[in-house]
Amino acid sequence: MAGSHSVGTDAAARRQEGWLTGTLVLFCLASTVVTIVAGLVQVSFGEYSMTILEAWRAVANPDVVLNADAWNAFLFGGELPEMDRNSIVVWNIRLPRVFVAIIAGATLAVSGAIFQAVTRNELASPFVLGVSSGAGFAVLATLVVFSGLAPFLPFVAAVGGTVAFLLVYGIAWKDGTSPVRLVLAGVIVNMVFQSLQQGLFFFADDLGVVQTAIAWLTGSLTGTGWDEVRVAVLPAVLAIGLALAGSRQLNVLLLGERTARSLGMRVERVRFLLSAVAILAASVAISVAGVVSFFGLVVPHIVRNTLGGDYRRLMVGCLFAGPALMVTADVGARLALGGTQLPVGVVTGLIGGPYFLYLMRKQRSMGEL
């Protein structure tokens, strides 16, 4: 882990070797294979009966893959061209769920990695720092009270996440912050926003809205379709692009504030801007997949243990590992209990909770990077 090496050693290693290594390439290829395999498993099961071979043929159907009208319908909401029944089921119902899982996994992983660098706290994540609950409250309020704002969910979630993060920083600030105070402040803000979320249910008079909200609060990909892909894809691309561009600045932040300032960095400005990118990335995922707990905590650690602490490699690794783990977790959530589908947030919570405890007990400095 990065925490087990001195900052100076890590910095020297980064200068001596390029960020593009064989390990990174193999890691990305392996993650891509896992994503594809898990995606194929996902599209092979459903209420409409078809064999696994028929489902896979539908995925590779050239009449859909190479059809500009079909992609116009998928990505821009145009009229769906005529296609066979298997292709309609796979491409219009099952595959969008995989694409939403890919988007949510990538953005949550990238968001968690940024928060860990900005706070220099390896226990940081959108969930732990209260960003998820703040964004969740904003989205839930939109679904229950201000339904007219539904097309702008990623930006509504970003506003809620920003408010929550500013509250956490304000509570934790006392001549600076520390990893312990940030985590404790995140717990406080989480509790407040979760209470507000529960209070919103009293304003919902539609049972369907209540059921949707409950599923969404636990982090669920059930019922997601091309509408969610269209809502999330552009903000996701923007957030990921900005995150990759900021990877060098994240490396400098890990050297410490004094060193970063001596290198000419305006630390607070960079920290604020990168936090905004992390909030946008987390909000994209929350707006389409709900509150998927602990995902942004676990994935950066898996990547860091494999690829090291250089954020140029870490961000690329998160971009591939996040989708692989999210799609796999969603397959487990869908198939674990036979006909009953679990919310994917339940699966990630069952994995992330014990992992969070493991990190807290292992690190003497409570996760300080």
Which range among 46-50, 96-100, 111-115, 330-334 shows the weakest confidence by mean pLDDT? 46-50
- Residue 242 pLDDT > 90, yes or no? yes
Q: Which 8-state DSSP code applies to residue 120? A: T
β-sheet bridge partners, residue 121: 368
Q: What integer pLDDT is reported at residue 157 of this predicted model?
A: 82
Give the tens place of pLDDT for each residue, 122-136. Answer: 778 888 888 888 988
Q: What integer pLDDT is reported at residue 12 of this predicted model?
A: 42
pTM of the model: 0.86
Angle at 146 between CA 148 and CA 228, to 5 degrees: 60
Are 253 and 260 spatial neighbours (Cβ–Cβ below 8 Å)?
yes
The residue whose two tokens read 């990893």 is 179
Q: What integer pLDDT is reported at residue 150 of this predicted model?
A: 67
Q: What integer pLDDT is reported at residue 8 of this predicted model?
A: 44
Convert 207-245 to b/e letters by CB count within 10 Å (16 or more is b): eebeebbebbbbbbbbebbbebbbbbbebbeebbebbee
Which range among 70-74, 299-303, 333-337, 359-363 shows the weakest confidence by mean pLDDT? 359-363
Give the tens place of pLDDT for each residue, 252-282. Answer: 988 888 888 888 888 878 888 898 899 889 9
Amino acid residing at 129? L
CB atoms within 10 A of CB 68: 8
- Residue 9 pLDDT > 60, yes or no? no
> Which two three-digit tokens encode residue 74?
């998928």
Q: Which domains does the chain have, with CATH numbers?
A: 19-53+96-244+271-362 (1.10.3470.10)
Are 136 and 197 spatial neighbours (Cβ–Cβ below 8 Å)?
yes
Provide mean pLDDT across the span 96-100: 95
Alpha-carbon radius of gyration of the chain? 21
Which residues neighbour 264 within 8 Å (Cβ) at sequence distance 6 or greater?
A: none
